[in-house]
Chains A and B, each alone.
Chain A
Amino acid sequence: MGMSREKDLIRAEDLTKVYQVGAVTTRALDAVSLSVAAGEFTAVVGPSGSGKTTLLNLIGALDAPTGGRLRVLGHDMTALSRRHRADLRLHHIGFVFQSYNLMDVLTARENVEFVLELQGVARAERRERALAVLGDLGLGALADRRPTQLSGGQQQRVAVARAVASRPSLVLADEPTANLDGENAEALIEMMARLRRERGTTFVFSTHDPRVIRHAARVITLSDGRVVADGPGPPNPGGAEP
């Protein structure tokens, strides 16, 4: 696992997350320790309720850990304020959600531009960058369409474009292929692998999809909130060698 490597982008030690709803306590993550190096293409797998999404939430600064230690991009996630977590997400982390989560009142280009606008990128530059990344993902001709005018695969590609347009160090993808057919799922994962190769972006994604797992350079398996396996993914010539 390489827990103490200098170039670790993510480093968790005894990471714990407990949810308390009324009298019911749920231990979603239980003393998880792992690290992910910069540029890795990592799949987090496991059955429903195993803690995959909770782990991504904590790594993505969407939630705060209950116990243990977590450092992401050099930041101690147990000590960050709400505001600093928002800044970290904005400038360093990209998200790809299972159900795309595009703003349906904005066009594909505007969806991508929105994040750049939040970053304070000047109008002309953000437009140029949005169009460039959409073009790179084969969506140049669809830039002015709204999400409802796009297929599921196209929407998810727009979501990826939104995630990478701000040039984050880390992209977290939660079941990115869950709503896609086989062909689109393959295309999407290949595209993400290409972005990793070309840009050196670190990808961590949760998935059940064996087609996705096949492309992963490393697979972390969770069960009942614990890491039960952590090792290299299956051999894959088109995949994501470090």
Chain B
Amino acid sequence: MIGGVTCRYAFRDLCRHRIRTAIMVGGIAVACAVAEFAGSYRRGALDMQVRAVAGSGTGHLVVVPEAWPETREVSLRVRDPRRVEVLARGLPGVAAAMPRARTGAVLAFGNRSAVVQLTGVSPADEFRGNRMVWKSRIEGRYLQAAETGAVVLGASLAERLDARLDDDLVVSTAGVAGITGAMVHVVGILATGGGEVDAQFAHVTLEQLEELTGLPGPAEVSLLLDDHRAAAAARQRLAAGLPAGNVVVTWKEIMPEMAAGADSDAAFSRLVIGVIMLVVAMGITAAQVTSILERRRELAVLCALGMRAPRVVIVVVMQGLILGVAGGLASLPLGLPSAWYLATRGIPLTAFLGDDLSVGSILLDPVLYGEFSLRLVVEGMALAATAATLAAIYPAWIATRVDPAEAMRRR
């Protein structure tokens, strides 16, 4: 057992060389502050990406027909969709449940045409859960419940077709009865702020899509959650009550490239933090080795008095831990204000991306906010303590190599 005198010795020994100790603590503090800021940014960026993906129509969780994950066939339909919607809306933390169906279609106006993925939606639910609908500037109006013969186009798509509000377009699609066509009236032109997104945006009601394809019901029910971190639990609960023939998939399974991008961003951020901490740890190791070499005689005396190697290791590692905790605490006045700034003011993405905030079919937030929570403090402290403690292992081993006979040598 390590007693009070050993602890006092370990602590006071660090106070012997105050400047050296202060430099080590300062190094840990700066590294941890960087790690805290980077952690805030990383989680904020991840949250934003997930929010952008989920809010751009994909949802956090999606109920699809059982065969869909393998085939990605748009003609498949959800079994017992009414029950699925009721079940989804009844789950805690579900902000919106959006039934949808899609089909490939050709929109034509005058001598222009465009191949699009036509999306059939429930307008009220879409307005609740799809940021491209509720956040965008719209000329005209959005769809109304069960409305047929109406379409809402993205601004870029409308431009490509040279179509304006109140124009009538021809829509052709392949349905159960073969190729079918219909006239649809442009009731709204929507500008999301993302050119790429607008070029693909073509919404009709589910009822209209049913008329075109002859396939009743939605092909998916997307769930938007209040907090993406609750997705695993919500998925489990949802899966337990789903009618047979349906499965739940996550946004990561639907958009694996986005998920991989988010994961690689997080991994890179962790790697940077790891490299910073490694450099700091090596600095601590070098300083502690110097300290050990300086007090070889004192350690020899301790060994001569009967201190065994494990206790020598504990003393040196304890000193590393003290340095780590002190560095972690010292990092808080540096790291937390910067993380707070990131969480409250954020980084305006328009400064880097311009006005077009779309990436593929995803519409990003204009400002990236960091995360600010107790977790930053806990992680910062844990990182500092772990790095400094690990950094002390080699010096501790050096300390155990000291020859106790050195205690007898003349100064």
Residues of A within 8 A of B5 (CB): 106, 110, 113-114, 117
Q: Does any Cβ of B come within 8 Å of A40's Cβ?
A: no
Q: Does any Cβ of A come within 8 Å of B303's Cβ?
A: yes
Roughly how many angstroms separate A114 CA and B3 CA in the complex, as a whole number? 9
Q: How far is the CB of A77 from chain B (nearest CB, A)?
A: 13
A-facing residues in B2-41 (Cβ within 8 Å): 3-6, 8-9, 12-13, 15-16
Question: A105-B15, A106-B12 in contact; A123/B3 too (CB < 8 A)?
Answer: yes
A66-90 vs B, CB cutoff 8 Å, 1 = contact: the mask equals: 0000000000000000110011011
Question: Once the chains bind, are B304 and A105 in contact (CB under 8 Å)?
Answer: no
Q: Does any Cβ of B come within 8 Å of A241's Cβ?
A: no
Question: Once the chains bind, are B9 and A105 in contact (CB under 8 Å)?
Answer: yes
Question: Once the chains bind, are A115 and B408 in contact (CB under 8 Å)?
Answer: no
- Residue of A86, A90, A101 near B301 (CB, 8 A) is A101
Residues of B within 8 A of A89 (CB): 304-306, 404
Q: In the complex, which residue of chain B has the Cβ closest to the Cβ of A130?
A: B5
Roughly how many angstroms separate A123 CA and B407 CA in the complex, as a whole number? 27
Q: In the complex, which residue of chain B has the Cβ closest to the Cβ of A58?
A: B405
Q: How far is the CB of B297 from chain A (nearest CB, A)?
A: 7
Residues of B within 8 A of A63 (CB): 403, 405
- Residue of A86, A103, A162 near B303 (CB, 8 A) is A86
Stretch at the interface among A92-100, A190-198, A211-219, A226-234: A92-100
State how many residues of chain A have any CB contact under 8 Å with chain B.
32
The A-B contact count (CB < 8 A) is 85
**SS class of chain B's interface: helix, strand, loop or mixed?**
helix
Q: Does any Cβ of B come within 8 Å of A53's Cβ?
A: yes
Q: In the complex, which residue of chain A has the Cβ closest to the Cβ of B1?
A: A120
Roughly how many angstroms separate A110 CA and B4 CA in the complex, as a whole number? 9
Q: Does any Cβ of A come within 8 Å of B308's Cβ?
A: yes
Q: Does any Cβ of A come within 8 Å of B112's Cβ?
A: no
Question: Once the chains bind, are A97 and B306 in contact (CB under 8 Å)?
Answer: no
Question: Once the chains bind, are B15 and A97 in contact (CB under 8 Å)?
Answer: no
Question: Once the chains bind, are B9 and A114 in contact (CB under 8 Å)?
Answer: yes
Q: Does any Cβ of B come within 8 Å of A62's Cβ?
A: yes
Question: Once the chains bind, are A62 and B304 in contact (CB under 8 Å)?
Answer: yes
Q: Does any Cβ of B come within 8 Å of A8's Cβ?
A: no
Question: A89-B306, A91-B306, A95-B304 in contact; A106/B405 too (CB < 8 A)?
Answer: no
Interface size of B as a range: 20 to 34
Q: Does any Cβ of A come within 8 Å of B307's Cβ?
A: yes
Residues of B within 8 A of A90 (CB): 305-308
Question: Once the chains bind, are A98 and B410 in contact (CB under 8 Å)?
Answer: yes
Q: How far is the CB of B244 from chain A (nearest CB, A)?
A: 67
B294-330 vs A, CB cutoff 8 Å, 1 = contact: the mask equals: 0001100111111111010000000000000000000
**SS class of chain A's interface: helix, strand, loop or mixed?**
helix
Q: How far is the CB of B83 from chain A (nearest CB, A)?
A: 69
Q: How far is the CB of A123 from chain B (nearest CB, A)?
A: 7
Residues of B within 8 A of A82 (CB): 309
B-facing residues in A98-150 (Cβ within 8 Å): 98-99, 101, 103, 105-106, 110, 113-115, 117-120, 123
Q: How far is the CB of A15 from chain B (nearest CB, A)?
A: 16
Question: Once the chains bind, are A62 and B305 in contact (CB under 8 Å)?
Answer: no
Question: Once the chains bind, are A86 and B405 in contact (CB under 8 Å)?
Answer: no
A-facing residues in B159-192 (Cβ within 8 Å): none
Residues of B within 8 A of A115 (CB): 305-306
Question: A63-B405, A123-B4 in contact; A101/B297 too (CB < 8 A)?
Answer: yes
Roughly how many angstroms separate A71 CA and B297 CA in the complex, as a whole number? 27
Question: Once the chains bind, are A101 and B306 in contact (CB under 8 Å)?
Answer: no
Question: Once the chains bind, are B308 and A53 in contact (CB under 8 Å)?
Answer: no
Question: Once the chains bind, are A95 and B305 in contact (CB under 8 Å)?
Answer: yes
Residues of B within 8 A of A174 (CB): 408
A-facing residues in B73-92 (Cβ within 8 Å): none
Q: In the complex, which residue of chain B has the Cβ closest to the Cβ of A60?
A: B304
Question: A62-B408, A99-B411, A105-B13 in contact; A114/B305 too (CB < 8 A)?
Answer: yes
Question: Once the chains bind, are A114 and B411 in contact (CB under 8 Å)?
Answer: no
Residues of A within 8 A of B6 (CB): 114, 117
Q: Does any Cβ of B come within 8 Å of A57's Cβ?
A: yes
Question: Once the chains bind, are B407 and A62 in contact (CB under 8 Å)?
Answer: yes
Question: A95-B304, A105-B15 in contact; A57/B411 too (CB < 8 A)?
Answer: no
Residues of A within 8 A of B297 (CB): 101
Q: In the complex, which residue of chain A has the Cβ closest to the Cβ of B409?
A: A53
Question: A60-B304, A62-B304 in contact; A97/B408 too (CB < 8 A)?
Answer: yes
Q: How far is the CB of A78 from chain B (nearest CB, A)?
A: 16
Question: Once the chains bind, are A56 and B8 in contact (CB under 8 Å)?
Answer: no
30 intermolecular pairs with C-beta atoms under 8 Å apart: A53-B408, A62-B304, A62-B405, A63-B405, A86-B306, A86-B307, A89-B304, A90-B306, A90-B307, A95-B304, A97-B408, A98-B410, A103-B9, A105-B15, A106-B5, A106-B9, A110-B5, A110-B8, A113-B5, A114-B5, A114-B6, A114-B9, A114-B305, A117-B4, A117-B6, A118-B306, A118-B307, A118-B311, A120-B1, A123-B4
New contact pairs (8) apart from A95-B305, A101-B297, CB-CB < 8 Å: A57-B408, A60-B304, A62-B408, A86-B404, A89-B305, A90-B308, A91-B306, A103-B301
Q: What residues make up the interface of B, taking CB atoms closer than 8 Å to A?
A: 1, 3-6, 8-9, 12-13, 15-16, 297-298, 301-309, 311, 403-405, 407-411
